Amino acid sequence: MVPTVAVLGLVACRSGERPSAANPQCDEGNGGITLPPGFCAAVFADEIGVARHLVVTPAGDVYVALENAERSSANSTRVSGENGRGGIMALRDTNADGRADIRFRINDGASHSGMALQMPWLYSSTPTTVLRYRLDSAALSRIGAPDTVLTGIPDGGHSSRSLALDESGNLFVNVGSDSNACWESGRGLDPCMELDERAGIWRYDAARLHQTHDASHRFATGIRNAVGLVWNTADHALYATQHGRDGLHNSYPKLYSVEKSDDTPSEELLRVSAGDDYGWPYCYHDRVLRRRVLAPEYGGDGNRPGRCVDKKLPVAAFPGHWGPDGLQFYRGTQFPARYRDGVFITFHGSWNRNGPQDGYKVVFQPFANGAPAESSETFADGFAGKRKYPRFADHRPVGLAEGPDGSIYISDDQRGRIWRVIYSAGKGSP
pLDDT in tens, 148-175: 999 999 999 999 999 999 999 999 999 9
Whether 22 is covered by a domain: the verdict is: yes
pLDDT at 428 over 50: no
Whether 275 is covered by a domain: the verdict is: yes
pLDDT at 76 over 80: no
- The band of 185, judged by pLDDT with boundaries at 50, 70 and 90, is confident
**What local confidence, expressed as pLDDT, does residue 282 receive?**
98
142 or 270: which carries more pLDDT confidence? 270
ω before 281 within 30° of 0 (cis)? Answer: yes
Segment among 116-120, 185-189, 382-386, 389-393 with least mean pLDDT: 185-189
How confident is the model over 38-44, as a mean pLDDT?
Answer: 98
**Which residues lie below 8 Å from residue 400, measured CB to CB, with a gap of 6+?**
54, 326, 327, 328, 344, 345, 346, 362, 408, 409, 410, 411
Distance CA 143, CA 127 (A): 23
Segment among 100-109, 189-198, 275-284, 316-325 with least mean pLDDT: 100-109
CA dihedral (150, 156, 315, 356) positive or negative: positive
Whether 225 is covered by a domain: the verdict is: yes
pLDDT digits (tens, 9 = 90+) for 222-264: 999 999 999 999 999 999 999 999 999 999 999 999 999 999 9
How confident is the model over 134-139, as a mean pLDDT?
Answer: 88
pLDDT at 303 over 70: yes
Among 53, 59, 89, 99, which Cα is nearest to 327's? 53
264, 198 Cβ separation under 8 angstroms:
no
Identify the three-state secondary structure at position 332: coil
Identify the three-state secondary structure at position 404: coil
pLDDT at 138 over 90: no
**What local confidence, expressed as pLDDT, does residue 80 receive?**
62
**What local confidence, expressed as pLDDT, does residue 144 receive?**
87
**What local confidence, expressed as pLDDT, does residue 13 receive?**
45
**What local confidence, expressed as pLDDT, does residue 21 receive?**
82
How confident is the model over 191-208, as a mean pLDDT?
Answer: 97
**What local confidence, expressed as pLDDT, does residue 2 receive?**
35
Identify the three-state secondary structure at position 317: strand
Whether 141 is covered by a domain: the verdict is: yes
- Percent of the chain topping pLDDT 70: 92
pLDDT at 47 over 60: yes
- The band of 85, judged by pLDDT with boundaries at 50, 70 and 90, is confident
Whether 132 is covered by a domain: the verdict is: yes
Number of domains in the chain: 1
- The band of 3, judged by pLDDT with boundaries at 50, 70 and 90, is very low
**What local confidence, expressed as pLDDT, does residue 207 receive?**
98
Whether 429 is covered by a domain: the verdict is: no
Q: Which amino acid is at 273?
A: S
Whether 430 is covered by a domain: the verdict is: no
pLDDT digits (tens, 9 = 90+) for 204-227: 999 999 999 999 999 999 999 999
Whether 377 is covered by a domain: the verdict is: yes
CATH number of the domain at 263, please: 2.120.10.30
**What local confidence, expressed as pLDDT, does residue 339 receive?**
98
pLDDT at 427 over 80: no
pLDDT digits (tens, 9 = 90+) for 91-105: 999 999 999 999 999
Among 34, 8, 13, 9, which Cα is nearest to 97's? 13
147, 139 Cβ separation under 8 angstroms:
no
**What local confidence, expressed as pLDDT, does residue 281 receive?**
98
Identify the three-state secondary structure at position 196: helix
pLDDT at 66 over 60: yes
pTM of the predicted model, to two decimals? 0.94
**What local confidence, expressed as pLDDT, does residue 15 receive?**
54
Among 211, 116, 189, 196, which Cα is nearest to 154's? 196
**What local confidence, expressed as pLDDT, does residue 429 receive?**
35
pLDDT at 266 over 90: yes
**What local confidence, expressed as pLDDT, does residue 34 receive?**
98
Name the average pLDDT for the chain.
92
Residue span of the structural domain in which 64 resides: 4-423
**What local confidence, expressed as pLDDT, does residue 423 receive?**
98
